[in-house]
A and B are shown apart, each in its own frame.
Chain A
Amino acid sequence: MDTRQSLKQWASGDFAHVPFALYSDPDIFDLEMERIFEGASWAYVGLAAEIPEPGDFRTTAIGNRSVIICRDRKGVVNGFVNRCSHKGVKLCREKSGNQKMFTCPYHRWNYDLQGNLRGVPFIRGVKKQGGMPADFDMQDHGLPKLQIAERNGVIFASMADKALPGLDDYLGESNLHYFDRVFDGRELQVLGYSRQLIPANWKLMFENIKDPYHASLLHVFLVTFGLFRADQKSGVKMDESGKHGLLISQKGEQKKSEHTTDMQNLRDDLRLSDPRLLDPVREFNDEATVVMQTVWPNLIVQQQSNTLALRQLLPRDSGSFELHWTFFGYADDDEVMTTRRLRQANLMSSAGLVSGDDSEVLKLTQDGVTVNRDDATVMLLGGTGTGDEDHMVTETAIRAFYKHYREVMQL
């Protein structure tokens, strides 16, 4: 059965049975790049704290297309596609730096910090020979510009042609509330980066973070030390469209309860030799100790105890994506807090004691779905609905994601 047939059999309004073909079909991937990543979405591209000075830039990607984000001489953040208008050369090779101009290495076409073409060598030829045609206008050959939006130091960009709603409307009430909870206007301090190439379809990463079901079952470490358990007070919240999601939970204890019999992996005998690894303190004005937020189409905001990170998804092809982690704290953190954040990063990184389970299981998922293209998921936990829930035994957030996905992809 080819992908088109699988999609025909996908009943409209069904968000529980996602055809496996969607995770491996290259045509679907191309369509996702076009409709999702180049469509009407705000993609996370960096932090204002990473480009504080005029001329500061960083390169990243929206979907699989490289983009440059930079601050111009007036202090305004601009974004444009990282490819020369002349021959399509990837203009900027550095990850970050400071530039007055962006110059293509091939024929030295020059672009300013707003992406405007400012110089073409030999534009008028040499000794009246050659050169560009008289009607060649540099204004027509700038770098394709991105829309930019910034909220409390977090920068988003869009390739969409038409104007998008502001970030507050885009996120919706509950997602905005939790976004502002971490990004409350305080100056951010980047602690460092971790990057990994996960051999799985990018959607599986979002599903993983929208899936509270697995957290109690896969992550022995989380469960054992009470950081995330199905019997804790918790909730799942989405925006109206279903595209963004929140998993919110509270730390519990390391003891068995009537609900832990299904959690066969709960090891109440395990003890840390050095408990400094887990020494969380409350730092936000609510009871939640973990909030995992997924922002369509490429961002995960992680608050697990005191480890704060932005995880950016950079899809490469239908079978792999890069996951870029930016760990941060606040400029007013004291040394003790910074050390605590750095210690807790042991749980969540490309070598994470917890997140390692996820990157591994994502690969195993990809291994399974790629060769079983005719099958579909069975995501019926908590029913078939897509609304908010105040418990963790549900796949509602994943279904809500596919509700929006089907709409945008017109599938």
Chain B
Amino acid sequence: MISSPSKHDVFQAIADPNRRRMLKLLADKEMPITEITNCFPITRTAVNKHLHILSNAGLVSRQKVGRETRYKLQLEPLVELKQWLAFFEHYWDEKLSALKNFVENNND
């Protein structure tokens, strides 16, 4: 298991729809906060807060370019999603065992 120094975990970070949209935007290109804010019906302060959480989760990085700070998507934490796959493996094991039980014991 990857231990990350993140204050927010990646799942928490992507649990919010605005933050998911931000990640999508940043997946296409690096953006300064002004440009990100223009894409959302929320205040710059709120956007900043969300970016802060994403950054704490290691999902975005900040880079100073001249006078502006640009935000960039970081893919590495998404590896954690692999663990999510492990969750689903387990999920299906349970469901398929229910299916087996259903077809083998349910007599019409």
A binds B: no
